[in-house]
Structure 1
Amino acid sequence: MSTTGKHLSGKADSTRAQKRPQRRRKKKSPRKTKLFRGLKLVVFLFLIPIIIGIGIGGFFAFARGVPSIEDLKQEVAPPSTQIFADDDSLIGDIKIMKGKAIPLERMPRVLLDAVVAVEDSSFWTHSGVDYMAIMRAAIKDILERELAQGGSTITQQLAKMAFLSPEKKFRRKLKEMVLARRIEKNLSKEEILTLYLNRAYFGHGAYGVEMAAQTYFGKSVSELAL
């Protein structure tokens, strides 16, 4: 076959292909579409209360495992450090220094303001948990790829000191938040700050502002003029 013949044949095939009717996609019936959407809505509305119920039930079950705050005001002995020899025999027991509890009115106002400014600037306004601070801390932890920031309020720190271990786990953080809300509901801000300042660790083995004042300045916290 000549080149001209091949060209004409190819052109004819192309023309027939263009004239060949294309398959039409079957359109879904509007009735079936509406029915499908309606079923999805019904299932969604049915699942919402179930999911909420499971969530609430799980939260209350978790909250029952959180310690009670009834003993929060009781004096708690600070931890001690025991030193052992190679044969596991006890060599010494270093007692951590802790001063007597000091009421808030005997502490310098500038000390209270400084602690709140450094540890929890929104202490007087939040209800135990500062969710924005937690979000900021979480973002920083993700960026730095380590659990460096906690975002804990003074109330949360008090809950951790009084009832929980220092481990950095999500479950412990949830307990800390639940306890903080309970503490805020049962104690005033002044009571919370008093308990915190009399329990907090200030370095060099000193627990509480009184022992910290004695350790660093050689006088009672009520005698400090900052």
Structure 2
Amino acid sequence: MDQDNRHTLGKVAQVTLLFWIAKIAATTLGETAGDAVTMSMKLGYLVGTVIFAALFLAAVAAQIAARRFRPALFWLVIIATTTVGTTLADFCDRSLGIGYAGGSTILVLLLAGSLAWWRLALGSVSIERIDTRKAEIFYWMTILFSQTLGTALGDWFSDPETGLGLGYQGGALAFGAALAVVGGLYFWTRVSRTALFWAAFILTRPLGATVGDFLDKPITSGGLALSRYSASAWLAAAIVAYILLIPQRAERLAPAD
């Protein structure tokens, strides 16, 4: 391993309960902000995807180039992945006509392929092993696929017209229950912590997607019809407050084999 790529501490946030709360807030922000650009501004899914993809590439390049954990930069990349994930999933599902089931299937395969490639290349997909630039690239690529998949899953389960029809509240409860199961497995079993981390990371995205849709979709569709701009502003303010007021720590790296 190159000495320049070795870190005593990792460059990703330590996983705690507050991390997961912030992650859900960030994914909800991704949904409302993505919808604000593509729907409220009427720019469309393709233009929205191009805008947020550019933001993501700039943010992730800065994150990878950074020599230590920078909380604001880390959460900016998380938000960027969830906004581009929102618009990209909507573009595939709706503009390309693939549908929720087709889009979710493709994204499941891409996510599984990303994790498999990462495991084959570096031997581990644990966040305690993100100690090289190559590992960081795999990490963020996998997160991008998981965020995009989460959007497609959230829409598929909750959409009252073209999805499974659980509604936004029903979808949020379903994904919240799935997360509770993952939490139970973490506390009361010896299931792989790495597997549980990625399961929780994937599930928080559709939870955020359904909550975001519940906030800004029309009342006739089961939402609260709140302004996408104001909802996004409040969520962004909450995340900024979290970064500024709550001590941020980097994930510790596992000892080298």
**What is the TM-score when the length of structure 2 is the normalising length?**
0.26
Q: TM-score, normalized by length of structure 1?
A: 0.28
Between Structure 1 and Structure 2, the one with more helix by share is: 2
Higher relative contact order (CA 8 A, sep 6+): 2
